[in-house]
Structure 1
Amino acid sequence: MTQPFRVEFVPGVTPDKWLRTWAARFPESAVDAVPVEQEEATAHLRDRSASMVLLRLPIDRNGLHVIPLYEEVPVVVAAKESVIAAFEEVDVADLAEEVLVQDPAHVPEWAGVATAEALDRSRAMPAMTTRQAISVVAAGSGVLVVPMSVARLHHRKDVVHRPVTGVAPSGVGLAWRVDDDDPRIEDFIGIVRGRTERSSRGAGQATEDARESRGPGEPGGRHTSSEGRRQERGRALPQRGAAPRRRGAGPARSRRKGRR
């Protein structure tokens, strides 16, 4: 009996388009699509309860192939009545005195500019789910930095989210086990990559996918994003996520961009 083909996806990632293409292309082969928390994603791959996972990067790649797919803008979630709500965009330096209601290690750019008091209070915060953290934010007890899709997923009327510069974008990738030779994996990769039904999915293509799934610093690996390919060709690129230059720099909070 054929084993179920289980594809898991973390909050904020929406695989609906790919699943519809799969259903149209392989109507006789069902996909068991299941949401999963980021903390459980790689564990489910390694214990073989999942065939593939759409998750956030970076992850521990040991024993896994990973294809980077796209990047998301980071945003800061704050109480609707906070000063942050008055601006269209903030810089991470503007959040130096705010309390981060998540592990500061998850936002090292903030940890690098935070005041000693804000850092101590953030480290004292208990571990929370995203939903719980946003409830704390709504009460005015701090802020949360997450990918935009996660902020939209957990949107409430008493909070706002604004793009935050100076924080690295959040990457989303597709991961599967190195030792899994299920042919459905290559079929799903083809759909995610936008290949047509007539595209080659033979051994040569599988080898190429495995090569591209290695990290840029890993033997035989190469960038799969357009930015990475440009870097490999020797083009200088501006640092993504870096704060834009502003004229007349003053105190951090005066550099926020207000609505007009």
Structure 2
Amino acid sequence: MTGSEVPPSFRLVYVPGVMPDKWVRVWNERHPGVPLTLTQVPAADAAGRLRDGEADAGLVRLPVDRAVFSAIPLYTEQTVVVVPKDHLVTAADEVTPEDLADDIVLHPLDDVLDWERGLPGRPALERPATTADAVELVAAGIGVLILPLSLARLHHRKDLTHRPLTGAPESSVALSWPEDATTDEVEDFIGVVRGRTVNSTRGRTPPAAQGKSGRGDRDGTRRKPAGAGKPAANRRGGTSGGATGGGGKRGRPRRRS
């Protein structure tokens, strides 16, 4: 490698609530020579980081600008309401917006839910700056907070609990990257999040994982085709040991009576 060459790397940003550990672990196993840099950013900043070239891809919350970014939806989160443990709604297994009609529903400035139809309940006099600030207000008995389940778990407190909220907006998480910057590393990470094996025919495969011929089974082990190395007559008779193939095992012809 000359002094002008830069070793390959992969920069991934992710938003609060997303747990990328399993994908990062698979990446490190498959690409030990390509370090992955992982950075958590506020949900509102993720698109800017990608647009400015500060990251190669991101685990972000939808929607994204499809004129600029490609995106692969990964999952949709359940929406919950965070309340003090002695709140009346804790007696129910799930909550409806009507159940919050008398509550002050906090609306932090970094909220990731799309409330086109408006929040349930009564609005607070001011919007908290962050979700963390809103959680503190819930603990102080100021109001309740609606957010994705992962964020409720992220900001868990012993004096608070949560219940599923029906009829509320949901948040979806996606892998996203600039459409005009689909690098080989991005293609490889797409394979990781989609659960492809190292020898999948879709996407790139590290040469070291392919073996000398570049061919292999799903578990990375090359196997001979059924019947390989056997005389043709033996192959027609089925497999040994009593196992039958898809066409069944041919027995000895019956003698006509």
Q: Structure 2 vs 1, CA of residues 65 and 151 (structure 1 numbering), >3 Å: closer, same or farther? A: same
For 2:127 and 2:119, the matched residues in 1 are separated by: 21
Q: Which has more radius of gyration?
A: 2
Query: Where does the alignment leave 5 or more consecutive residues of structure 1 unmatched?
Result: 204-260
| Counterpart selection for 2:56 from 51, 56, 75 | 51
**Paired residues for 1:86-125 under 5 Å:** 86-102=91-107, 106=113, 108=115, 111=118, 113-114=120-121, 118=122, 121-122=123-124, 124-125=125-126
* Partner residue, 1:34: 39
The answer on 1:143 being equivalent to 2:138 is: no
For 1:180 and 1:75, the matched residues in 2 are separated by: 36
| Counterpart selection for 1:78 from 83, 97, 101 | 83
The answer on 1:68 being equivalent to 2:69 is: no
1:92·1:164 contact (CA, 8 Å) conserved in 2?
yes
Letter paired with 1:40: D
Q: TM-score, normalised by structure 1?
A: 0.70
Letter paired with 1:36: V
Query: Where does the alignment leave 5 or more consecutive residues of structure 2 unmatched?
Result: 1-5, 205-257
Letter paired with 2:85: K
Percent sequence identity over aligned pairs:
43
1:92·1:110 contact (CA, 8 Å) conserved in 2?
no
3-state DSSP class of the match of 2:107?
Answer: coil
More helix per residue: 1
3-state DSSP class of the match of 2:89?
Answer: helix
* Partner residue, 2:232: none
Higher relative contact order (CA 8 A, sep 6+): 1
Q: TM-score, normalised by structure 2?
A: 0.71
Q: How many residues align?
A: 197
* Partner residue, 1:157: 158
For 2:92 and 2:76, the matched residues in 1 are separated by: 23
For 1:137 and 1:110, the matched residues in 2 are separated by: 23
- Across the aligned residues of Structure 1 and Structure 2, the Cα RMSD in angstroms comes to 2.1
| Counterpart selection for 2:14 from 6, 9, 13 | 9
* Partner residue, 1:193: 194
Letter paired with 1:181: T
Q: CA deviation at 1:41?
A: 0.6
1:70·1:173 contact (CA, 8 Å) conserved in 2?
yes
Deviation string, structure 1 residues 165-216 (Cα, Å, up to 9, x no partner): 111332110100011132000000001001111112459xxxxxxxxxxxxx
* Partner residue, 1:228: none
3-state DSSP class of the match of 2:106?
Answer: coil
The answer on 1:20 being equivalent to 2:6 is: no
Q: CA deviation at 1:112?
A: 6.2
Letter paired with 1:108: W
Letter paired with 2:65: D
Q: CA deviation at 1:142?
A: 0.9
Which runs of at least 4 in structure 1 moved beyond 6 Å after TM superposition? Answer: none
Letter paired with 1:128: A
Deviation string, structure 1 residues 30-78 (Cα, Å, up to 9, x no partner): 1001111101110100011011110111233331001111111100001
